[in-house]
C-alpha cells in the first residue's frame, strides 16, 4: 500500500483555484478583442474536464491531492542541495482523468499576500503529470516508507519532478522526474535519492550556469 501523502494548502489557495476556474470555464466569457497570427486555439470548458461548472469548490480542486511547488534556481544550489529549493506556490490537478485534466498553479502575491491563479495547463502536459503522479503509487520505495509529495522545478535545465520529501530522522529524499528537457518521463523502477539526482544533472547545471548572455536553452 502506498504511503505517499499530500499536504494541505492554505484554504485561500484552494479557494483561489476554485473561483478562478468558475470564471475561466464559463463558455460565455469572451474578450473584447482577440487575434492570433494563426488560427484561434480551442480552450477547455467544464464539460471537457468532466466538471459541473456550478459545483466547482475547494473539494473539487483538492480531489487529486494538492502539491506544494518548489523551485530550484542555479544560485540556490551552492548551499543545501535540493532542500535549498524555494516554495513558490501550490499545484492542483483538477478534473476527471477519463475526460480531461487541468493543472492549476497558484502563488501568493508578494505585496497583498492574496493567492492568485498563475497558470492552468490543459492537454498533454496536465495529462502526463497526472499519469506520472499515478505511477508513483506503485513504486517499491513508496510501499514501505512515508513521503510528502511535492513538485520540484529546475527551470534552468528544463526539469520538473516529483520530490518525495522524507520527514523521518534518517531522511532520504527521492526525486522522480516527469519532464526532462524535451521529454516526458513516466516514473518507474527506483527513483534516485536527491543527492544522486543532483549529481546526475550537475553537468547540465554547469553548462546552464556558463551560458552566454544572449543564449537560451
**Interface positions with other proteins (CB under 8 A):** 20, 23-24, 31-44, 71, 73-76, 88-89, 105, 107, 110-111, 116-126, 153, 155-158, 179-182, 204, 207-209, 211-212, 214-217
What is the C-alpha separation between 20 and 154, in angstroms, rounded? 26
- Our CB check for other proteins shows the closer of 62 and 160 to be 160
- Our CB check for other proteins shows the closer of 75 and 190 to be 75
Report in angstroms how near the CB of residue 46 gets to other proteins at its nearest.
13
What is the C-alpha separation between 186 and 206, in angstroms, rounded? 26
Specify which residues 177 forms β-bridges with.
Answer: 161
Torsion sign across C-alpha atoms 75, 206, 154, 211: positive
Report in angstroms how near the CB of residue 28 gets to other proteins at its nearest.
13
- Our CB check for other proteins shows the closer of 11 and 43 to be 43
- Our CB check for other proteins shows the closer of 79 and 169 to be 79
Report in angstroms how near the CB of residue 182 gets to other proteins at its nearest.
5
Report in angstroms how near the CB of residue 139 gets to other proteins at its nearest.
25
Q: From the CB of residue 210, how many other CB atoms can be counted at a distance below 10 Å?
A: 8
- Our CB check for other proteins shows the closer of 24 and 145 to be 24
What is the C-alpha separation between 103 and 97, in angstroms, rounded? 11
Report in angstroms how near the CB of residue 143 gets to other proteins at its nearest.
32
Report in angstroms how near the CB of residue 157 gets to other proteins at its nearest.
8
Nearest to 91 by CA among 13, 12, 148, 177: 13
Q: What is the largest CA-CA distance in the chain?
A: 57
- Our CB check for other proteins shows the closer of 170 and 214 to be 214
What is the C-alpha separation between 121 and 116, in angstroms, rounded? 15
Specify which residues 175 forms β-bridges with.
Answer: 163
What is the C-alpha separation between 71 and 63, in angstroms, rounded? 24
User: Which H or E element spans position 95?
Assistant: strand 86-96
What is the C-alpha separation between 12 and 18, in angstroms, rounded? 10
Amino acid at each position: 500500500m502506498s504511503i505517499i501523502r499530500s499536504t494541505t494548502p492554505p484554504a485561500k489557495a484552494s479557494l483561489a483555484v476554485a473561483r478562478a476556474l468558475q470564471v475561466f470555464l464559463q463558455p460565455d466569457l469572451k474578450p473584447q478583442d482577440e487575434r492570433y497570427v494563426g488560427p484561434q486555439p480551442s480552450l477547455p470548458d467544464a464539460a471537457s474536464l468532466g466538471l459541473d461548472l456550478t459545483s466547482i469548490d475547494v473539494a473539487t480542486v483538492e480531489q487529486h491531492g494538492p502539491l506544494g511547488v518548489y523551485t530550484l534556481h542555479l544560485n540556490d544550489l551552492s548551499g543545501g542541495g535540493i532542500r535549498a529549493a524555494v516554495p513558490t506556490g501550490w499545484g492542483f490537478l483538477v478534473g476527471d482523468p477519463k475526460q480531461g485534466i487541468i493543472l492549476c498553479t497558484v502563488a501568493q502575491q508578494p505585496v497583498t499576500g492574496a493567492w492568485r491563479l498563475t497558470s492552468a495547463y490543459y492537454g498533454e502536459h496536465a495529462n502526463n503529470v497526472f499519469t506520472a503522479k499515478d505511477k508513483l503509487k506503485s513504486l517499491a520505495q513508496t510501499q514501505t516508507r512515508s513521503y510528502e509529495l511535492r513538485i520540484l522545478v529546475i527551470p534552468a535545465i528544463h526539469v520538473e519532478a516529483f520530490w518525495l520529501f522524507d520527514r523521518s530522522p534518517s531522511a532520504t529524499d527521492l526525486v522522480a522526474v516527469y519532464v526532462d528537457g524535451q521529454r516526458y518521463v513516466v516514473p518507474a523502477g527506483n527513483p534516485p535519492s536527491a543527492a544522486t539526482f543532483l549529481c546526475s544533472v550537475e553537468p547540465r547545471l554547469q553548462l546552464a550556469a556558463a551560458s552566454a548572455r544572449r543564449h537560451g536553452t
